[in-house]
Structure 1
Amino acid sequence: MPRPNLIIRTTREDDWAAVRALRLEMLRDYPLAFGETLEHALQVEEAVWRQRARRGETPGQTSVVAIEGERWVGHMGGYFPDAATGPMLVGVYVAPDRRGDDWGVSRGLLAAVEEWAAQYGSTLRLEVHEDNPRAQRFYEKLGFTLTGSSRPYELAPGGLELEMIKRLS
């Protein structure tokens, strides 16, 4: 259960600077978890950050953040690539000092993304790097299971992205 002072909401274009700051934090914390390098993100122009922030207002995708006071402490996004794939969970991050069930950040974010995803299908998919067992355990705890499907991870150090799925109620 999210703490009373925790706000879970979608992003808007005028959030672009906070979206940028949180993305850079995400990439500094665990670069293997995201399909972008810190070096690339540092070069992205304001117009692109504004576009990324609009994902919370754009049909077929979402961008949900957890805010505690003025501090952004978590993010989960989703998009609908196609009917065969169904909704995908992406950009999952919770600040290290706000991880764990006592804070309610991950469950609050996931509930919002699941509500969005239910408009597009009965399952929610994600990909997690094979060398990120902490994230795999986290997703399993939240009801995701490995499907047996994988694809190559495009960035260094390579490896595989493992697909996981969760049935939505």
Structure 2
Amino acid sequence: MDYVMRAVRAEEWPLARQLRLEALQDPAAPVAFLESYEEAAAQPDAYWQDRTARGAEGTTVRQFVAESAEGEWVGTVTVLVERPEDDVRFGEAAAVDQGHLVGVFVRPEVRATGVTDALFREAVDWAWSLSAPPLARVRLYVHEDNPRAAAFYRRFGFVPSGQRIPAPGESGAWELEYVIERG
């Protein structure tokens, strides 16, 4: 596997935009992401610049990418740091200091090659490296109709917490919480 896992840099916003728009065109996008391609494509450059800059900071948000030897981005995941005193972004309020993985996308041609595992290791390792205060767990949500993603999360070590929330915009569908507790 000739890919490097690393954090984004603020000036790479055009690449971050391009990969996000590609992700939003994936067949799983309607159950994997909270925005549509049309909504994201309509955002001005300043939106993408700010979003990428926040993901590059590494304090409360950190975006990671999988980059080929040729500089092509083939995957991404973002870690949101959630504290009990924070406003709720998605899901249930944080009862403990935790990381929340969002925006997971890996191009189809590199799925099942180890890229997703390496990308998740980078993100989870970063979450565990935080010390002020340390995170107790890392969580993510997966739509009940996304069994491919759920199977990967379980294989990686996430376990269902038993918590679920209504899927945004869908009557009767659920988002299931998966967690890894700090060992």
TM-score (norm 2): 0.84
Partner of 2:74: 73
Q: Percent identity?
A: 35
> Residues 12, 155 of structure 1: CA spacing in aligned structure 2 closer, same or farther, 3 A cutoff?
farther
Partner of 2:37: 38
- Pairing 1:57-136 to 2, within 5 Å after superposition: 57-68=57-68, 69-83=70-84, 84-85=95-96, 86-100=98-112, 103-118=113-128, 119=130, 120-136=134-150
Unaligned runs of 5+ residues in structure 2 are 85-94
Contact 1:35 1:155 in 2 (8 A): no
Task: Give the number of equivalent residue pairs.
Answer: 164
TM-score (norm 1): 0.90
- Superposition RMSD in Å: 1.5
> Residues 45, 150 of structure 1: CA spacing in aligned structure 2 closer, same or farther, 3 A cutoff?
same
SS of 2:145 mapped into structure 1: coil
SS of 2:25 mapped into structure 1: helix
Matched letter for residue 93 of structure 1: F
Contact 1:114 1:168 in 2 (8 A): no
- Pairing 1:2-41 to 2, within 5 Å after superposition: 3=1, 5-29=2-26, 30-31=28-29, 32-41=31-40
Unaligned runs of 5+ residues in structure 1 are none
4+ runs deviating over 4 angstroms: none
